[in-house]
Amino acid sequence: MPNASPPWRVGVDTGGTFTDLVLVDGDGVIRATHKLLSTPDDPGRAVLEGIAKLLGADGVSSATLATPPAVVHGSTVATNALLEGKGADAALVTTAGFEDVLTIARQNRPDLYATVPRRPPPPIRRAMTLGADERTAFDGSVITPLDPHTLDALTQQLARLNPESVAVCLLHSYANPEHEQQIAQAIRDKLPGVHLTLSHELLPELREYERAATCAANVVVGPTMSRYLTRLDRELDGHHLRIMGSGGGTLPVGFVCDRPIETVTSGPAGGAIGAWAMARAASIDRVIGFDMGGTSTDVTLIDGGPTRTTHTTIAGLPIRLPMIDIHTVGAGGGSIAHIDVGGAMRVGPESAGALPGPACYDRQRPDQPLATVTDAHAVLGHLPDGRRLGDSLVIRRDAAVHAVRDLAQHASLSDEETALGVLRIADVAMARAVQQISVQRGYDLRRFTLLAFGGAGGLHACRLAEVLGMTRVLIPRHGGLLSAVGMLAAPPRYSFSHAAIATLTADASGRYPDPLGLPAVQHATETLRRRGQDALERDGVHETEQHLGLFLDMRYAGQSHELSIPLGPGDIAELFQQEHERLYGYAPTGRDIETVTARIEATGPAPEVRSATGEQAGIAQRPCQRTVPVTDRDGVTNWPCVQREALMPGQKHTGPMLIEEYAATTVVPRGWNLEVLADGQLSVTR
């Protein structure tokens, strides 16, 4: 490093509508933020424009920037390529006889009562799928060897198909990768430069459909992502670029070009890391991240760190790589309420989106009013008439009332009752999403804090907490761009897995042997440890700062789902039994235990990010408190309404009150108390 002080850094989150940017100085203090419209035709344009704008902000001069700031970037490029089916024309090589693996999937249909059931079309066309005459058995032994003629014929066929990228996924390749390696070599010789993904490298785990789907998704988004990132890296000349991964860590550009699917939920992962950073700043270990936007809501559970899952589904495809466990529900501020044919009120999944948007934005056609969740807030006074949201929107309560009245008449309720009902249904739907990632997995929500962000998070947080039996809510600063904040708080982080198939049999006293003594497990963990160390070393992470977490997926013989047990001191088999007992309420004794997959999480140090203190941010006390009429279950009363900027650390208030900021509002209902923390976060408790 040429200069002693650590460099400034920029976090850039490219979303569907907005590109959010956050600049931190060498100490991790947030110095500037910027939000601009995304440029979907060329997402890099908004990134470059935004960075230029940030570096020209007040208090940021070239003098303070000895070197161009490093950039951490998350984008929806990979996700959109999958969702919109606009990825590469990729090819797939399977074991002969299994070419339809992506079409057959798991045989089940997504919608039980659709008269004409269908699954989404597979990401790789059947005509681009080739079978290789070869076969490996479950134990890795070769049944049908791969002969040179087969390889020749295969690569010639592939050359004729002229794919942009190729995935190779052969049966049982996790147990013996030889055939995949031979095919890879032949493809590299015949089609040099083609993007190639081998299933034993990307996901060396049992279950052929999930492995093939993950690999297919990788090669479908690969070429698009590689082109985008290579160009952006060039255009960001002098800035060091890293990419936000779905697992909650940052990754080098070259790595992401090979494994782009690892970034498929980079935005929400940034949000989860941002939530975790804000929680730590408030000395909280357990939070539910609640990111409510216009069309959907993302929830995530953090228990001493974000939780991860290998069961993410994107565009109907299972992506079995470890990602931060984010559950999305189709309810947001723009969700449309209607009365269905049976007389029940439904909220969503249809959304008014950004256009025409909620009725109170006054862009809907007056003859087709659509009452949304945001309109319910306008009717009740949470968003008072004339309130400015961001730079361009002004709330018109009469338009909201007009839209809600239509619904109220259908339901034979008053406008206000209807609006309260819309919010109640939205809250119950979101509560269900939170329960799915918490209660249904054995967590006690009473020990968690609800950390609310996104445009609508603060409007719902306290009521949602009540529905869930939670007593504390945290509203961070920069809630509108917490994903970009999180990208700056993310450490370098890699996840790898390796098959480790072995059986543990209990002795007469019921004790199991140490799995680390078994050759398959030993080989797997050693290979993984080396891989993790190598990756971090290439990032310049010193050995002493490397954290290598090893895990072993285990199950009782006969089960088909595994529990991931951390490898450390202590009896691993016993830890597995305890975890089984904790999650499922019973643990059979004496039954064989199988080890299936070993995993490593290799992590470097996490950079610190914090909000500027009041003084640094140039906040002045502005006593501009007013009252506004708000309707709740007890009727209409005048609630105090203050500007977020006017709240000083240490201040305490009692609900009800409204807190307004640039593009968000926090509702603090009766029975809730507010305290402003030292870093400006709002802690709301009951």
Partner 1 sequence: MASYPSPDDLMLGTPGDPIELEVFRHLFASIAEEMGERLMRSAFSPNIKERRDFSCALFDKHGEMLAQAAHIPVHLGSTPMSVRAVIEAFAPSVMQAGDSFVLNDPYRGGTHLPDITVVQPVVLPGHTDGPAFYVANRAHHADVGGIAPGSLPISAHIDEEGLRLPPQRLDDDAIDRIAHASRTPDERRGDLRAQAAALRLGAQRLAELVASYSLDTVTQRGQQLQAYAQRVIEGVIAGLPDGVYTFEDVLEDDGRGNTDLEVRCALTIQGRRATLDFTGSADQTAGPVNAVRAIVVSAVDYCFRCIAPTDLPGNGGVMRPISVVTRPGSIVDATHPAPVAGGNVETSQRLVDVVFGALAQAAADRVPAASAGSMNNLTLGGTDPRHGRPFAYYETLAGGAGGGPEDTGGDALQTHMTNTHNTPVEALEHAYPMRIERYALRDDTGRARGRHSGGLGIVRLYRFLTDVQATLLTERRVHPPYGLAGGSAGTVGVNTLIHADGQREALPGKCSQHLPAGSAIEIATPCGGAWGSAAPETPPDPSTT
DSSP for residue 42: S
Q: Tell me the closest approach of the beta carbon of residue 617 to partner 1, in angstroms.
A: 37
Instruction: Show Cβ contacts of residue 463 under 8 Å, excluding neighbours closer than 6 positions.
Output: 423, 424, 427, 667, 669
Q: Tell me the closest approach of the beta carbon of residue 216 to partner 1, in angstroms.
A: 14
d(CA 286, CA 525): 30
Q: Tell me the closest approach of the beta carbon of residue 221 to partner 1, in angstroms.
A: 20
d(CA 305, CA 285): 7
**Residue from 313, 440, 627, 638 in contact with partner 1 (CB under 8 A):** 440
User: Using an 8 Å Cβ cutoff, are 272 and 483 in contact?
Assistant: no
**Residue from 345, 506, 518, 548 in contact with partner 1 (CB under 8 A):** 345
Q: Which stretch binds partner 1 (CB under 8 A): 252-260, 302-310, 335-343, 675-683?
A: 335-343
Q: Please report, as residue ranges, which positions from 231 to 270 form the binding site for partner 1 (by CB under 8 A).
A: none
DSSP for residue 607: P
Q: Tell me the closest approach of the beta carbon of residue 464 to partner 1, in angstroms.
A: 11
**Residue from 29, 60, 161, 339 in contact with partner 1 (CB under 8 A):** 339
The answer to the question of residue 1 lying near partner 1 (CB under 8 A) is no
The answer to the question of residue 208 lying near partner 1 (CB under 8 A) is yes
- Beta-strand relationship, 250-252 and 241-244: antiparallel
The answer to the question of residue 636 lying near partner 1 (CB under 8 A) is no
Q: Which is nearer to partner 1, 238 or 585 (CB)?
A: 585
The answer to the question of residue 89 lying near partner 1 (CB under 8 A) is no
**Residue from 8, 18, 98, 512 in contact with partner 1 (CB under 8 A):** 98
- Beta-strand relationship, 472-475 and 682-685: antiparallel
The answer to the question of residue 171 lying near partner 1 (CB under 8 A) is yes
**Residue from 132, 194, 429, 541 in contact with partner 1 (CB under 8 A):** 429
**Residue from 186, 329, 420, 473 in contact with partner 1 (CB under 8 A):** 420
The answer to the question of residue 288 lying near partner 1 (CB under 8 A) is no
User: Using an 8 Å Cβ cutoff, are 337 and 422 in contact?
Assistant: yes
Q: Please report, as residue ranges, which positions from 373 to 412 form the binding site for partner 1 (by CB under 8 A).
A: 410-411
Strand partners, 603: 493, 547
Q: Tell me the closest approach of the beta carbon of residue 662 to partner 1, in angstroms.
A: 31
**Residue from 428, 624, 648, 678 in contact with partner 1 (CB under 8 A):** 428
The single residue listed with the structure tokens 């409204």 is 658
The single residue listed with the structure tokens 């497990």 is 521
Instruction: Show Cβ contacts of residue 24 under 8 Å, excluding neighbours closer than 6 positions.
Output: 8, 9, 10, 11, 30, 31, 488, 609
Q: What one-letter code names the amino acid at 540?
A: G
- Beta-strand relationship, 9-14 and 70-74: parallel
Q: Please report, as residue ranges, which positions from 456 to 485 form the binding site for partner 1 (by CB under 8 A).
A: 466-470
Q: Which is nearer to partner 1, 172 or 477 (CB)?
A: 172
- Give the interface size with partner 1 as a residue count (CB under 8 A): 81
The answer to the question of residue 576 lying near partner 1 (CB under 8 A) is no
The answer to the question of residue 678 lying near partner 1 (CB under 8 A) is no
Positive or negative CA dihedral for 155, 99, 77, 8?
A: negative
Q: Which is nearer to partner 1, 669 or 680 (CB)?
A: 669
Q: Tell me the closest approach of the beta carbon of residue 76 to partner 1, in angstroms.
A: 25
The answer to the question of residue 142 lying near partner 1 (CB under 8 A) is no
The answer to the question of residue 589 lying near partner 1 (CB under 8 A) is no
d(CA 306, CA 303): 6
**Helix, strand, coil % (nearest 5) of the chain?**
35, 25, 40
The answer to the question of residue 506 lying near partner 1 (CB under 8 A) is no
d(CA 492, CA 605): 7
Q: Which is nearer to partner 1, 160 or 561 (CB)?
A: 561
Q: Which is nearer to partner 1, 339 or 663 (CB)?
A: 339
The answer to the question of residue 137 lying near partner 1 (CB under 8 A) is yes
d(CA 430, CA 579): 28
The answer to the question of residue 671 lying near partner 1 (CB under 8 A) is no
Nearest Cα to Cα of residue 334 among 396, 376, 289, 395: 376
**Residue from 9, 34, 172, 259 in contact with partner 1 (CB under 8 A):** 172
Helix and strand numbers (H, E) in the chain are 16, 36
DSSP for residue 115: S
d(CA 491, CA 72): 11
Q: Which is nearer to partner 1, 448 or 453 (CB)?
A: 448
Q: What distance lies between CA 127 and its chain's CA centroid?
A: 33
Structure tokens that stand for 151 in this block? 């390889």
Positive or negative CA dihedral for 264, 270, 271, 276?
A: positive
Q: Tell me the closest approach of the beta carbon of residue 40 to partner 1, in angstroms.
A: 25
The answer to the question of residue 113 lying near partner 1 (CB under 8 A) is yes
